[in-house]
Amino acid sequence: MQKRTFISTIALALLASTTAIAQDKPLKIGVTAGPHAQIFDQVKRIAEKDGLKVQIVEFSDYIQPNAALAAGDLDANSYQHQPFLDLQVKDRGYKLVSVAQTVNYPIGLYSKKVKDLKDLKEGARFGIPNDPTNGGRVLLVLQDKGLIKIKPSAGLKATPLDVIENPKKLRFVELEAAQLARSLDDLDAAAVNTNFALSAGLNPGKDAIAQESAKSPYVNVLVVREQDKDKPWVGKLVKAYHSDEVRKFIQTEFKGAVLAGF
């Protein structure tokens, strides 16, 4: 009887030790530099009040955060919109799912050469992101602004090859999304995702010569591995992100350049 009690005591002690270690290990959340990182600083502060320890890991591109999450190097990421995630899952076989909507970044069109899209000259070099979803997104914005026309069947994944009308004969220069703001000196105009625009010192409300409509399918999402989606910490993280404090921070800090999508 004494031996059994002794063994049970050891087992309980080991279990308690393991639980403590698991709780002490912070959740690693991947974000891109700029607004996503700034917002998650606020989320982290609120989540920690609910017992979650959070470590923010910043990335400078759109590919590595999903690769790191799929590999188990992250617990979640917050930087991408749903169409981009869908394409990554399809193309790379990632077992990743979105668990909440976060923010919306209306993409802006910028230029150091002209003040209005209509002033672009024939043959102007126009920079667009080289990833399929953001590239297609920009082409849809240009279509909405009347500069080009795209094959109706292309949908959200349109590429320059799907452009069927291009009166100004725009020449599309495909670059990494993070490089576009820094390439404005070499281009006639470019589309720059809001997080990269803000990081480059651009003010979307003042500096953009045109912006995407607020009615967009490109709301950003919080993403985890499929196997983790029902874990308690996910619900706590979503609750922290969807808090009134975070909503107010977004409204105050970004003044319409970033919109709460929840």
Asked whether the predicted pLDDT for residue 129 surpasses 90, the reply is yes
81-112 per-position pLDDT tens digit = 999 999 999 999 999 999 999 999 889 999 99
CA 188/CA 261 separation, integer angstroms: 32
CATH homologous superfamily of domain 108-211? Periplasmic binding protein-like II (3.40.190.10)
Q: What pLDDT shows up at residue 230?
A: 98
d(CA 209, CA 189): 9
119 Cβ partners below 8 Å, 6+ apart? Answer: none
Where do the domains of the chain lie?
2-105+218-260, 108-211
pLDDT for 13: 43
Confidence (pLDDT) at 215: 73
Summarised one tens digit per residue, pLDDT across range 33-52 is 999 999 999 999 999 999 99
* Burial of residue 115, with CB atoms counted within 10 A of its CB: 0-12 exposed, 13-18 middle, 19 or more buried: exposed
pLDDT in the model for residue 100: 97
Contact between residue 100 and residue 78 where contact means Cβ atoms under 8 Å apart: no
Does the structural domain 2-105+218-260 have CATH classification 3.50.50.60?
Answer: no
The yes-or-no verdict on residue 17 having pLDDT over 60 is no
The pLDDT of residue 195: 84
Measure CA 110 to chain center.
20
- pTM of the entire structure? 0.71
pLDDT of residue 14: 42
The DSSP call for residue 26 is P
pLDDT at 257: 85
pLDDT at 1 over 70: no
Res. 180: pLDDT tops 80: yes
Phi, psi at residue 5, to the nearest 5°?
-60, -40
How much is the pLDDT for 12?
41
pLDDT digits (tens, 9 = 90+) for 166-176: 999 999 999 99
Q: How confident is the model at residue 133 (pLDDT cuts 50, 70, 90)?
A: confident
**Domains 2-105+218-260 and 108-211 alike in fold:** yes
